[in-house]
Chains A and B, each alone.
Chain A
Amino acid sequence: MSSPSAPAARPVARRRRRRLDSSLIVGIALIAVIVIGAILVASVGRNFFSAGNIRDILTGMSVLGFVAIGQTLVILCASLDLSVPYVVSLSSLIAADLMAGDPANIPVAVLAVLATAAVIGLANGLIVTKLKVNGFIATLGTGLIIKGYLDSNYKGTSGQVPWEFQLIGATGVGPVPISTILMLVVALAGAFFLARTRTGNHMFAVGGNEQVARLSGIRTARPIIIAHVLCSITAALAGLLLASRLGVGSPTVGTQGGYDLLSIAAVVLGGTLLMGGRGSIWGTVGGVAIFAVVDNVMSVMQVNPFLKDVVRGIVIVAAVAVYTSRQLDRRRPRFGPGSAASAPPTSPGAGEPSAPAAPAGSAASDTTGRSEANA
């Protein structure tokens, strides 16, 4: 029973806790929502799991899914992107205008849309990192600029999307729409990017603690800029999808969807920390799915549209309340239930009857105190 061996017993408990923390809660919540939804839908004599209904839910997921995937990256870096609805609208217009009803124009139009979005994202990232403007304000600003451009140049829908491109939004494999598959492929790519590339890893670092990241030799601006670029690009993908569904470009399609706040809500609902440094793409996809299921159940039940927003609001607040309550265990109790004092004695020389495992309790105050003493 020597002191170094004392921690050896803990990893098992640790693993369990870690898995419980992340996407699992979102998964459980999603299943719960589906079960409750299915029961409610059944109570009015309809089948929640009918192919048609599943297609509706998945269709409802895809546009918000694209936006929220990009938003996840930005929020992981402890920034925000409020310009997404305007990027969505602008993208639908550029796509529809350039395609002008001719399938031969599709590649050029798509490339132009993605390039425009990348430039907007680059601008967002540079403003945040180089001008040190808070992401909230920076993207509010660029969003307003795009809005001004849209308002003064477009009075209504514009352009024409060829039939071939409209197929993307209209067809599917069985009950699964192509658009949802595309969204999941992007999600997979995003998750892979976060887990397996240095830039992805560094996004967690700059979002978690920029000072630590910098002291570890990370160029802290890069992950943030790349996150903003990718976020604008996924918003552009959402715009392309909407253009495909509508057949035209629309200057208001993004704002009508409320993709700025809804995407942030979905990200947070998916367990990503709004202050950055922790989260996952799959959590976000789960968050988007929860929204889609709740929306679907409410429309099947023909719930009053105002009540819909009330329910959405409750879902968001409740979810975040659950997450924060899980983060409040800032120190480990030394005495009483759950305390470390019940562990076997570990102090070899002192012969004291008890030597609690660690002063983990003082971690928070210690680190702040120490950094101050250092300043």
Chain B
Amino acid sequence: MSAQQQAADASGAPLAEREPVLVADGLEKSFFGVTVLHGVGLTLRPGEVHGLVGENGAGKSTFMKILAGVHERDAGTITLGGRDVRFTHPVEAAHAGLATVFQEFNLLPERTVAQNVFLGREPKRRGLVDRRSMERETRDLLAELGIDGIEPDALVRTLTVAEQQIVEIVKALSVDARVIQMDEPTAALADHEVELLYAIVRRLAERGVAILYVSHRLKEIFDLCDTITVLKDGALVSTGPAAELDTDELVRRMVGRPISAYFPDAEEGTRIGEPRLVLRGAGNAYVDGVDLELRAGEIVGVAGLQGSGRTELLEAVFGITPFTRGEMRLDGRAVRMMSARQAVKAGVALITEDRKAQGLALNQSVADNALLVIRSVFARRTREVRQELPGVLTSLEVSSQGGDQEVQYLSGGNQQKVVLAKWLAAKPGVVLLDEPTRGIDVGAKVAVYRLMRRLAKEGVAMLMISSELPEVIGMSDRIVVMHDGRASAELPARSDEATILSAATGTLRVGDLRVDPARNDGEEAR
């Protein structure tokens, strides 16, 4: 069916009466004996934007990967355009008209836009790659999406993240897809770029393409989607028109339990003490004008979209990309943190966002990893810490086959606990946590939360970045919201998601918030 015909179908009948383009039914999948999908199915119709939501680990990614042919299903059926299909490779699915924009970019930075779009199926003329038609078709596809700023012969490396995301979508379009799955397409985008993506998604839907849209940002789901399917623990909770749902109801269906049960309360006897970390107008090339006070025993949440400068703030405090302006005080003393080593010596710890690349030496043992900081910075304490290690690992509930096991064979949750053990050995006074529970299971999450509460009681000050708002709300004594490299607002504990989100997206217009007006004036003057 051509795109034009689809468009006619799409504009003609109401959504529910259109012939489905994709029907998935009873999909099941287990990995190593653990069932991650229990008979999940959904129906996509031409021109439909279908939201797929659920917590981390609910099975959204597995579901998409089965549709895309990355994983094979154990049971169930998939019908695409009326035909039963079983894909074994994403390329096979794409040729059949089902394209996927994966969460991680599949682009070659050193190749041009056109070369990336047609990678693996370069058009040929007399046996040779036809660059001109490749670039012309890429230009046409970009024009169809209403994009005029991306040159087909530009190197992908020179594009912004948003532009790269568009190239991914164009890549999906270039196979004339009838169904496009998008896994967290806005994860790396700034808010004004999200608008651009919205426009693209709507345009695709108008042309009759069915879109399966996965996002953690519920606002996007409501803004874009006609239908919403909720998954929880690998099972289908509900499928229905978006108009029949509101945010509260959606969250209730996704979480299925009140948030309070999830997050432990502060331990008895926790006392908010003296300021341990103070920033005054601190800034460098990536963050600017940050004012912050972090007290002993306090957990301050850092909310904000990806790319808002959250990670950059922690990296500045930790001396990786030092502050070049303003003031930073640690336990009352002014410091210029110029290196990570200096930070560690001063009692600061950084639990990085990407534990595999930045937190752990994957092919080394649990013990070697746990002793890394001590060995390199506080070498004299190595013996002592080594003796305590088994006890520490037990108290953190690390399930491993002993300290000799290589960390790459541990689960994400246990890996994260090893990272925590590594830093706790240094007895830090300020702990910076960047997405401390990303990609780990619920049990391990709760263990991390309990550990944070225990550290708070011991007088440690913590600054925690999280993209999961319930986590920010459930754990923080205060919430700092980052937006475009600045701390745009400071909110009290238990602020609601809507307030945090509007601060994070720069649309906050509420009187009780501390938005620094002087900063904004300065910007205008420039």
Contact = CB atoms under 8 A, between A and B. Distances in A.
Interface of A: 3-11, 14-15, 17-18, 195-198, 200-202, 204-205, 208-209, 211-213, 215-218, 273, 277-278, 331, 333-336, 339, 341-342, 346-350, 352-363, 365-375
Report the interface size class on chain B. 35 or more
Interface string B181-205: 0001001111111011001000000
A6 B146 CA distance: 13
B159 to A, nearest CB: 8
B144 to A, nearest CB: 13
Which of A195, A211, A342, A354 has most chain B Cβ within 10 Å? A354
Given A197-B128, A366-B161, A371 B104 contact: yes
A359 B108 contact: no
B110 A372 contact: no
B285 A333 contact: yes
A62 to B, nearest CB: 28
Q: Is the interface of B mostly helix, strand, loop or mixed?
A: loop
Contacts of A198: 122, 124, 129
A163 to B, nearest CB: 40
Given A204-B110, A208-B110, A373 B103 contact: yes
B128 A196 contact: yes
B56 to A, nearest CB: 7
B188 A335 contact: no
Q: What are the 5 A-B residue pairs with the smallest beta carbon separation, nearest first? A: A359-B307, A7-B149, A217-B91, A358-B160, A333-B285
A331 B127 CA distance: 40
Interface stretch (B226-234, B329-337, B376-384, B518-526): B518-526
Contact of A335 (B56, B127, B485): B485
Nearest to A198: B122
B151 interface: yes
Given A3-B196, A216-B106, A14 B485 contact: no
Given A4-B148, A215-B106, A348-B192, A358 B162 contact: yes
Interface in B330-373: 353-358
B111 A205 contact: yes
A195 B158 CA distance: 20
B89 interface: yes
Nearest to A208: B108
Interface stretch (B45-53, B113-121, B418-426): B113-121
Contact of B150 (A7, A278, A348, A363): A7
Contacts of B146: 4
B91 A215 contact: yes
A348 B91 CA distance: 38
A194 to B, nearest CB: 10
B439 A8 contact: no
B256 interface: no
Contacts of B103: 370-371, 373-374
B439 A373 contact: yes
Interface stretch (B235-243, B258-266, B308-316): B308-316
A12 B131 CA distance: 20
Given A4-B147, A196-B129, A356-B484, A213 B287 contact: no
11 contacts: A4-B149, A197-B129, A198-B122, A200-B129, A217-B91, A331-B286, A354-B523, A359-B307, A360-B160, A361-B286, A363-B164
B61 interface: yes
Contacts of B312: 361-362
Interface in B487-512: 505-507
Interface of B: 56, 61, 89-91, 102-111, 115, 119-122, 124, 127-129, 131, 146-151, 154-155, 158, 160-164, 184, 187-193, 195-196, 199, 283-288, 306-309, 311-312, 324, 353-358, 412, 435, 438-439, 484-485, 505-507, 520, 523-524, 526
Contacts of A5: 148-149
A361 B312 CA distance: 9
Given A335-B283, A366-B161, A370-B103, A356 B122 contact: no
Contact of A358 (B190, B357, B435, B520): B190
Given A362-B306, A366-B161, A374-B61, A213 B149 contact: no
B161 A359 contact: yes
A348 B357 contact: no
A348 B195 contact: yes
Nearest to A361: B286
A362 B158 contact: no
A84 B44 CA distance: 56
Nearest to A332: B160
Given A4-B149, A356-B485, A367 B104 contact: yes
B195 A3 contact: yes
